[in-house]
Structure 1
Amino acid sequence: MANRRDFLGTVMTGAALAAAGTTATAKSAGRVIGANDRIRFGLIGAGARGQEILKPAIACENVECVAVADAYTGRFAEADKIVPGVKTFQDHRKLLEDPSIDAVLIATPQHLHARHFIDSIAAGKDVYQEKTMAFDADDAREMRNALDGSGRVVQVGLQWNSSGGVQKIRDRVKAGEVGKPTLVETHHFRQPTHGGWVRPIPDGFDPSQVDWNAFQGDAKRVPFDADRFFNWRFYWDYSGGNVFENFVHFAAFWFAVLDLDVPESVVSSGGNYLSPKMNVPDVFTVTMKHREGVLFTFTSMFGNGYYEPGRTCLFGDKGTVVHTLADVFHVVPAGKREELPAPKGSFKNPTPQHLANFFDCVRTRSEPNSPFDIGFRSAVACRMAVEAFRRNATVRWDPATETII
């Protein structure tokens, strides 16, 4: 697990086993789940987000969590509190060997998504893949290659696409209420510095509890660092900062509403002014130019909560859609200015509905609300934003070679 060559070797081994029809893979891939059958799932990555999705997952109808995998054994006791008696593994591949597991939820750090996704597909499991789906364009293509022809159901953890707002706003746009949309303006502000992401080192922490090589994956090799492990969102080696944490949700939502492809070009600028513990910026803007004739902007700020919980405006020549992450929206006709009141007590995270949609699609073999394609497009757009920021230059997408240039 030391480098990309080892990673690809693992992938090829998994693909070869799948083709050969090993017992575990054959049983997982071949099981037909009926409408009343119980779905057995495993969780890969039992940190904060993993536990957040585990709780509503086990509340879904007729499902059962049977195993949890994490590079840090200190999380096993926390998982056991949520699912008493759950099996635990430090190596995710051991979980995938269980032929009774139908699906996996993957909530590991972003740089590990491709590894865990590809191994899961090769093992014949349906996948709920947390966002941002892929760390870079290479990973996105490798994940797509693994998925093609597998017959697996994939839901990407872009839960706002299960809120109902996508279809409602799309219908209003298609009805011509905003005319020709040409600008999407989005914001995500948080009052705490460091985005509220600071994770303290647990009391009594012992580095021997962590499989450091497994955590590093294909990132550059560095000596063990507890801060890198617990606060991985602060480091470019493992994270895309708030681009990968929250911009991706806006991108996926409006890409679905407007049927936008990967942007033609992206520019990004900003800095880190109040959050010195982070490598990633705490104030920045992203501007994406789309071939469909739409300009898409995102502004992120830590240290100020003015735009919380994330107000968005879609501007057309006949009207404007004002939308919030509480899934409240209003269409304002051209020539009028009407502010949407800030929601009070109406914020409802649609993660439970998103997980329920995934399990329903595992049974019916239908396409989920956030399928692989929207995960691919939004992940590449996010990587373009990161590359534009780090290069301090405009980056472009070459659709012929599917590379960022």
Structure 2
Amino acid sequence: MDKSSRRFFLKKATLGSAALSSAPMVFASPYKEKILLTRAYENAHYAVNDQINLALIGCGIQGIYDTQSALRVDGVKLVAVCDLYTGRLDRSKELWGDAFFTTRDYREILGRSEIDAVIIATPDHWHKQIAVNALKAGKHVYCEKPMVQRYDEGQAIIDAQKASGKLCQIGSQSMSSLGNEKAKQLYEEGAIGDIVMLDFYNDRYSAEGAWQYPIPPDANPQTVDFDTFLGTAPKVPYENKRFFRWRNYKDYGTGVAGDLFVHAFSTLNYIVSSYGPNRAQATGGLRFWKDGRDVPDVSITLYDYPKTDTHAAFNAAFRINFIAGSGGGSGFKLVGTEGEMEIGQNAVTLRRSKLDLVPDGYSMIAYTKATQEKIREEYAAKNLESRASSLSTGETTWQAPNDYKGAHYDHFHKFFQAIREQDTIIEDPTFGLRAAGAALLANESYYGEKPVNWDPKAMRLI
């Protein structure tokens, strides 16, 4: 951040949060406080003819959670559901009644004129084809992350969206959260100075967390359209695990990079207004969940971000462990030259510490007492540690209220408001490709066993 932004933040900090909203109250050192975040929603009531008719393509775990959040938004009606397993179609009726169309062929969804928008929550290898076809059919698209299975598929979605004039929002739901919004504001005001690194990790310690999802007892070639599921993937004999645990196979999914890294890249690129990294180096392996999967359950990737107009050059460390004996946990922390932010969907904690520039007892022990005194006098004359630097230290947490509707709701709310031309898309296909492309560099490096270089503006490998 430039010097004027830092001075602005420090000035606000010394005035206190009662005077200016985003800065912490600092009258003594150190401070510690909590501030409540707020979100205002319009009170809207829509007639039947004004409703947005929604269809779900892919009624699995994420598809159901997506639809539940979408239907909480005023003026949205579910009119169709598609899935390749008949049991999920039955489940959709348990959840939302019988007043909608169901099918195992997504093309029948796109052919229905009453449908305004679709949620695409299929396995990753189907995202590009269905998104392009949906946009060409005149539907607004909410496509789950990662936007594409391979980075070279992204331009087709970008082109289809522009040609169609319809909206396409990528579903990294934490993007629209109160936490992200506050973190972006704080960063732009210079709260952490120049960014130095990102530290992201996600530890899991359960079979479910490692994608060993349950397989229904009635799963068989009659209830599952396995040939359609395979799509452009290599043809293999019917196998329940490949259909119901598709994330475990690189033929259909994108591993931990596409499932988890992409969330972090969406948030990171949004907060610091970045196009993304230009280099990645990955390592890891399959350490425990040796159940036939061909993707690692431990992954560590280091990314380099180049200097731009919005951020200094910095490094990012991404770590996933699906066999974390600690019991699990996660974190997302931006570390800067003057502070750090720990960021979640519902909260942001800013910590600012005083940088010690004057030598203390550790290094002074090597000198005589007379020399020590001279050194202290020399440093005192430089006045390296001002009163202002001491007053701007401490911790502030901005917390969402208990009745906050949540980041997932906010992401769909923004999508539907954009359809009504009352808001704008926060994660369009270009943004989605930059996030997915950066995440997928981990796979390029891991399977290629070498570092990879990326052009974040052109969104292609170098």
TM-score, normalised via structure 2 length: 0.75
Alignment of 1:198-237 (within 5 A): 198-237=212-251
| 1:377 pairs with 2:434 | yes
Alignment of 1:273-292 (within 5 A): 273-277=287-291, 278-292=293-307
- Does the C-alpha gap of structure 1 residues 378 and 169 become closer, same or farther in structure 2, counting only changes over 3 Å? same
Alignment of 1:241-390 (within 5 A): 241-277=255-291, 278-292=293-307, 293-304=313-324, 309-335=329-355, 350-364=407-421, 366-390=423-447
| 1:95 pairs with 2:152 | no
> For the Cα contact (< 8 Å) 1:207–1:226, is it kept in 2?
no
| 1:134 pairs with 2:154 | no
C-alpha separation between the residues in 2 aligned to 1:148 and 1:215? 28
> For the Cα contact (< 8 Å) 1:153–1:365, is it kept in 2?
no
Moved more, 249-258 or 185-194: 185-194
C-alpha separation between the residues in 2 aligned to 1:264 and 1:389? 16
Aligned to 2:66: 53
Deviation at 1:282, TM superposition (A): 1.3
> For the Cα contact (< 8 Å) 2:177–2:345, is it kept in 1?
no
C-alpha separation between the residues in 1 aligned to 2:112 and 2:127? 20
User: Counterpart of 1:296 in structure 2: which amino acid?
Assistant: A
- Does the C-alpha gap of structure 1 residues 330 and 400 become closer, same or farther in structure 2, counting only changes over 3 Å? closer
User: Counterpart of 2:149 in structure 1: which amino acid?
Assistant: F
1:69 maps to which of 55, 75, 82 = 82
- Does the C-alpha gap of structure 1 residues 249 and 210 become closer, same or farther in structure 2, counting only changes over 3 Å? same
Q: In structure 2, the residue corresponding to 1:209 is in which secondary structure?
A: coil
> For the Cα contact (< 8 Å) 1:120–1:126, is it kept in 2?
yes
- Does the C-alpha gap of structure 1 residues 358 and 35 become closer, same or farther in structure 2, counting only changes over 3 Å? farther
User: Counterpart of 2:413 in structure 1: which amino acid?
Assistant: A
Alignment of 1:9-20 (within 5 A): none
C-alpha separation between the residues in 2 aligned to 1:326 and 1:286? 26
Identity %, equivalent residues: 30
Deviation at 1:51, TM superposition (A): 1.1
User: Counterpart of 2:119 in structure 1: which amino acid?
Assistant: L
C-alpha separation between the residues in 1 aligned to 2:303 and 2:296? 18
C-alpha separation between the residues in 2 aligned to 1:397 and 1:58? 39
Deviation at 1:61, TM superposition (A): 0.6
Count of aligned pairs between the two proteins: 372
Deviation at 1:189, TM superposition (A): 0.9
Ranges of 4+ aligned residues in structure 1 off by more than 6 Å: 33-36, 336-340, 345-348
> For the Cα contact (< 8 Å) 2:191–2:339, is it kept in 1?
yes
Aligned to 2:374: none
Deviation at 1:34, TM superposition (A): 10
> For the Cα contact (< 8 Å) 1:178–1:321, is it kept in 2?
yes
Aligned to 2:209: 195
> For the Cα contact (< 8 Å) 2:210–2:297, is it kept in 1?
no
Aligned to 1:37: 50
C-alpha separation between the residues in 2 aligned to 1:273 and 1:176? 41
C-alpha separation between the residues in 1 aligned to 2:280 and 2:459? 15
Deviation at 1:349, TM superposition (A): 5.1
| 1:396 pairs with 2:453 | yes
Give 5+ residue unaligned stretches, structure 2. 1-45, 308-312, 356-392
Q: In structure 2, the residue corresponding to 1:40 is in which secondary structure?
A: strand
C-alpha separation between the residues in 2 aligned to 1:211 and 1:111? 16
CA offsets per residue over residues 2-23 of structure 1, 9 Å max, x none? xxxxxxxxxxxxxxxxxxxxxx
CA offsets per residue over residues 177-228 of structure 1, 9 Å max, x none? 2111121111111122563421222112221222222211211221221110
Q: In structure 1, the residue corresponding to 2:50 is in which secondary structure?
A: coil
Deviation at 1:41, TM superposition (A): 0.9
C-alpha separation between the residues in 1 aligned to 2:237 and 2:181? 48
> For the Cα contact (< 8 Å) 2:199–2:332, is it kept in 1?
yes
Give 5+ residue unaligned stretches, structure 1. 1-32
Moved more, 109-118 or 51-60: 51-60
| 1:179 pairs with 2:193 | yes
| 1:161 pairs with 2:196 | no
> For the Cα contact (< 8 Å) 1:194–1:275, is it kept in 2?
no
Deviation at 1:365, TM superposition (A): 6.3
Deviation at 1:236, TM superposition (A): 0.9
> For the Cα contact (< 8 Å) 1:166–1:253, is it kept in 2?
yes
> For the Cα contact (< 8 Å) 1:194–1:302, is it kept in 2?
no
Q: In structure 2, the residue corresponding to 1:300 is in which secondary structure?
A: strand
> For the Cα contact (< 8 Å) 2:351–2:395, is it kept in 1?
no
Moved more, 75-84 or 159-168: 159-168
C-alpha separation between the residues in 2 aligned to 1:155 and 1:34? 25
Deviation at 1:308, TM superposition (A): 5.1
C-alpha separation between the residues in 2 aligned to 1:368 and 1:36? 23
Aligned to 1:120: 134
Q: In structure 2, the residue corresponding to 1:213 is in which secondary structure?
A: helix
Q: In structure 1, the residue corresponding to 2:335 is in which secondary structure?
A: strand
User: Counterpart of 1:41 in structure 2: which amino acid?
Assistant: L
Q: In structure 2, the residue corresponding to 1:321 is in which secondary structure?
A: strand
C-alpha separation between the residues in 2 aligned to 1:320 and 1:36? 49
Moved more, 142-151 or 102-111: 142-151
C-alpha separation between the residues in 1 aligned to 2:286 and 2:314? 29
CA offsets per residue over residues 323-369 of structure 1, 9 Å max, x none? 235433223234378798xx9x9998521221122111111164223
